[in-house]
Amino acid sequence: MERQREIQLDVQWLGRRPYAEIWELQKRLLEQRINNEIGDTLLLVEHEPVFTWGKRTKPQHLGAGQEALRVLGADTFQVERGGEVTYHGPGQLTGYPICNLANLSCGRDLHKYMRGLEEMVIRVLASYGLEGGRVEGLTGVWVEQAAGGRRQAAGTANDPKPQALSPTPAAKVAALGVRVRKWCTMHGFALNVTDECLPWFKHIIPCGIGDRPVTSLQSLLGDPPDMADVRGRVIETFGQVLMPGKTSPGR
């Protein structure tokens, strides 16, 4: 009998890097993954300031426009992912799974893959004693704004259904935007870790949603969490949710 090949996830921490460099790396790795030249990979990075947007973004969502965003000291790129305009930069952990969906627990189901990424973030929040939820019709992970300014969340970590949030506008703590080609993935998720990343969002309409604020783990916890600790929890939880028992140590 032929022995079944063990599937693992190669996790790579890239440090702080410009977006263009990692975008090109993603595209190279995607081609290699499609051709089975590499295994499933998760890139983790903290970007230099950059605004990116997908094909559906409306000009008004870019605020004063690309040139004005560049004057702020950020790069700007239209990319091939789904979703609208967002910001990446210091204080935010961005993850790019380069994976064959057939190897993930979601299988070749893009909707389940997106919900799996959300579930991963929800469980990371739960590990800090926070509750994240979903907003029906929107992607990403959300938390409620409680009275007194401290934001808390609705929903549970294990329930994949959209959670009913209170009438107070929910704040977004993590954004998603992916591309799938020949059932292999690129782009991914961005989790706001510290408040350092938050002021940049005021220059755009994040994800085309103008009536809901953006928050961070620091705002939720009261103190900035250690980025390395957050990274470790993301790696562990990604494996638990999408590749149970298949995650190799990060490097």
Q: Is residue 207 flagged as an active site residue? A: yes
Among residues 99, 106, 184, 207, which one is catalytic? 207
184/75 Cα distance (integer angstroms): 27
Neighbouring C-beta atoms of residue 216, cutoff 10 Å: 23
- In a 10 Å sphere around its CB, with 0-12 CB exposed, 13-18 middle and 19+ buried, how is residue 59 labelled? exposed
Structure-token pair, residue 33:
């993954």
Contact between residue 177 and residue 186 where contact means Cβ atoms under 8 Å apart? no
Helix (H) or strand (E) holding 72: none
Using alpha carbons, select from 96, 89, 98 the residue that is nearest to residue 46: 89
Structure-token pair, residue 189:
């998720």
**Ordered DSSP codes for 159-212:** --SPP---SSPPEEEEEEEEEEETTEEEEEEEEE-SGGGGGGGGGS-GGG--SS
Contact between residue 44 and residue 94 where contact means Cβ atoms under 8 Å apart? yes
Which residues are the active-site residues?
207
